Amino acid sequence: MATWNSRGLRGSTLEDLVNRTNEQYREKGLALIQKIPTPITPVRMDKENRHITLAYFEQRSTVDYIGAVQGIPVCFDAKECAADTFPLANIHPHQVEFMQAFEKQGGVAFFLIFYSHENQFYYLTLRSLLTFWNRMQEGGRKSFRREELEPQYYLNKKSGFLVPFLDGVQTDLNERE
């Protein structure tokens, strides 16, 4: 069973940015998206400060966020990457399976990738991820490079939104028509 310790703070800056963006979208009536907490069972507590210092995950998480955008169900996972190559080991088979099932039900599933070294956000469609995923399953590369990504899915800062991922959702929907 996986455990949590100090590594639990990885990606917290990205999470904060996405959470604040979700609040902005909710306040403007554009979307209602919630962070899905991963259930944990505490093992060790710092009783003096009332902090959990060691815990284990009760179950595998599926995605980080789920909600609706103008009546369209969406789910996504946010990942941070410090290089131009994204390792597919950062994505788990159960996440891919959940997202495929989610899209079969009419939803939109995607990965929001933050390239921290470039301060750049990217909206990775499930379609694109599956191309890289299937290549890996067939014995190919276990990662993808930024050069392989579709340029129209880079998210440009605008309109005061910290992580304007609804632009990616719109582009994704337009390509499905």
Whether 167 has a binding-site annotation, put simply, is no
10 Å Cβ neighbour count for 35? 15
Q: And the tokens for 27? A: 């306040």
Q: Tell me phi and psi for residue 40, to 5 degrees.
A: -125, 155
10 Å Cβ neighbour count for 22? 21
pTM of the entire structure?
Answer: 0.82
Whether 62 has a binding-site annotation, put simply, is yes
Burial class of residue 139 (count of CB atoms within 10 Å of its CB; 0-12, 13-18, 19+): exposed
Q: Is the separation of the CB atoms in 33 and 77 below 8 Å?
A: no
Q: Is the pLDDT of residue 21 over 60?
A: yes
The stretch 3-15 carries a mean pLDDT of 53
H or E segment and range at residue 52: strand 51-57
Contacts of 125 by beta carbon, 8 Å cutoff, 6+ apart: 110, 153, 172, 175
Whether 64 has a binding-site annotation, put simply, is yes
Q: Is the pLDDT of residue 2 over 50?
A: no
Task: Round the average pLDDT of the chain to a whole number and report it.
Answer: 86
pLDDT band at 54 (very low <50, low <70, confident <90, very high): low
Q: What is the pLDDT of residue 6?
A: 38
Q: Is the pLDDT of residue 3 over 80?
A: no
Q: Which letter does DSSP use for residue 106 in this model?
A: T
First to last CA, the chain: 42
Q: Is the pLDDT of residue 45 over 90?
A: no
H or E segment and range at residue 93: helix 93-104
pLDDT per residue as tens digits for the range 82-124: 999 999 999 999 999 999 999 999 999 999 999 999 889 999 9
Q: Tell me phi and psi for residue 128, to 5 degrees.
A: -65, -45
pLDDT band at 1 (very low <50, low <70, confident <90, very high): very low
Sheet strand arrangement including 65-69: 31-35, 65-69, 72-81, 108-115, 120-125, 154-155
Q: Which domains does the chain have, with CATH numbers?
A: 16-33+64-176 (3.40.1350.10)
The stretch 36-52 carries a mean pLDDT of 70
Note the residue count of the chain.
177
Q: Is the pLDDT of residue 55 over 80?
A: no
Q: At what angle do helices 126-137 and 93-104 cross, to 10 degrees?
A: 140
Q: What is the largest CA-CA distance in the chain?
A: 57
